[in-house]
Structure 1
Amino acid sequence: MTTGGTEIFIRPATPDDRDAIWTILEPVYRAGETYCIPTDITRDDALADWFAAPFTAFVAELDGKVLGTSHVGRNRPGPASHVANASFATHAEARGRGIARALVIHAKDWARQQGFRAMQFNFVVSTNADAVHSWQKAGFSIVGRLPGAFLHPQQGYVDALVMFNDLTAA
């Protein structure tokens, strides 16, 4: 994908990407504002979670540097196994450069190729306005609101959103 004349290259993550992924995830997790992850999670536990089945981890490179990551996979097993889920994170220096947009487009395309019919984000923190806006621009709708479901470190209890995209729609 090209953004601002520069090519963003998205590929499956490898064990060699762990340091770069941790550089992206650590400040996000430590801030405690967007993920349901303990703020004191260890590097090893965070990376084990990011790479855990049923998800496939990806990285986004811009100018040869890993500046974003995603993991995409089945939301739930059994009769709901046709619905994908995904998580995304970008390096602070890459924000506003199209990395998240490229990752979500890639995630949707990858999920379609794997036979998924829809993608659902189970828990988007409502105060994460950039993510909510980005996912809506990518075709996701807010289909549910969980009042006070997330304890934000500065704002207290805030809502979490469930967002959904039909991957079979044109």
Structure 2
Amino acid sequence: MDIIVKKFEPSLNAAAVAIWNEVVEEGMAFPQTETLDHPSGLAFFSEQSFTGVAVDQESGQAVGLYILHPNNVGRCGHICNASYAVKSGLRGQHIGETLVRHCMEAAKDLGFRVLQFNAVVRTNAPALALYRRLGFVQLGIIPGGFRRKDGRYEDIIPHYHVL
């Protein structure tokens, strides 16, 4: 699979909404509980500082995405936050790594100095391994910081990377 990351455009909205909603409905990674529809997805992805969509160049199919935005405002506005989603049947093929690496460059280009993840769920072993491999620093553990779809609570592990 030959993946490129494109800047979000309205023609990618249906695919981006489907990928995003898949992760939300799984209830294992994103804090969101509400899914997006076409209009809310278009607004959501367009309002980010940057939304990148991973596209397989051979098939033209969107296979993942990320959103990038400030983590805070004012004196902490130089710290950004991001979320990543990869189509479930394609996970484990380094699409997430491509997204994170692209995101880090996009964040630098936008003038951010630090990329921070507020809520990496402790049971998300692939994400934790990727962030460790890319040099992210683990900040600690917040016990029970994430409520899974089934109502159980999982620990979250914030991370950061100086850009």
Note whether the superposition's TM-score is higher than 0.5: yes
Counterpart among 17, 22, 25 of residue 27 in structure 1:
22
Counterpart among 58, 63, 82 of residue 52 in structure 2:
58
Counterpart among 2, 11, 15 of residue 7 in structure 1:
2
CA contact (8 A) 1:59 1:70 kept: yes
- Measure, in 1, the Cα distance between the counterparts of 2:125 and 2:47: 29
TM (norm. structure 2) is 0.89
Residue 129 in 1 paired to residue 118 in 2?
A: no
Amino acid at match of 2:54: A
Q: Which residue of 2 aligns with 1:117?
A: 113
Residue 149 in 1 paired to residue 145 in 2?
A: yes
Give the secondary structure class of the aligned counterpart of 1:104. helix
RMSD, aligned α-carbons? 1.9
Amino acid at match of 2:52: F
Q: Which structure shows the higher strand fraction? A: 1
**Which structure 1 residue ranges, 5 or more long, are not aligned?**
1-5
Question: Relative to 1, partners in 2 of residues 1:119 and 1:15: Cα closer, same or farther, differing over 3 Å?
Answer: same
Identity of matched residues, % = 29
Deviation digits for residues 10-48 of structure 1, max 9, x if unmatched? 11011111111122112211111111111x534247625
Amino acid at match of 1:36: P
Q: Which residue of 2 aligns with 1:43?
A: 37
Query: Which shows bigger deviation, 68-77 or 42-51?
Result: 42-51
TM (norm. structure 1) is 0.86
Q: Which residue of 2 aligns with 1:70?
A: 66
Amino acid at match of 1:21: A
Deviation digits for residues 133-167 of structure 1, max 9, x if unmatched? 11221221211321111112358111111110011
Deviation digits for residues 118-142 of structure 1, max 9, x if unmatched? 1000111111111111122122121
Give the secondary structure class of the aligned counterpart of 2:141. strand
Question: Relative to 1, partners in 2 of residues 1:42 and 1:10: Cα closer, same or farther, differing over 3 Å?
Answer: closer
Aligned residue-pair number: 161
- Measure, in 1, the Cα distance between the counterparts of 2:43 and 2:152: 26
- Measure, in 2, the Cα distance between the counterparts of 1:52 and 1:161: 28
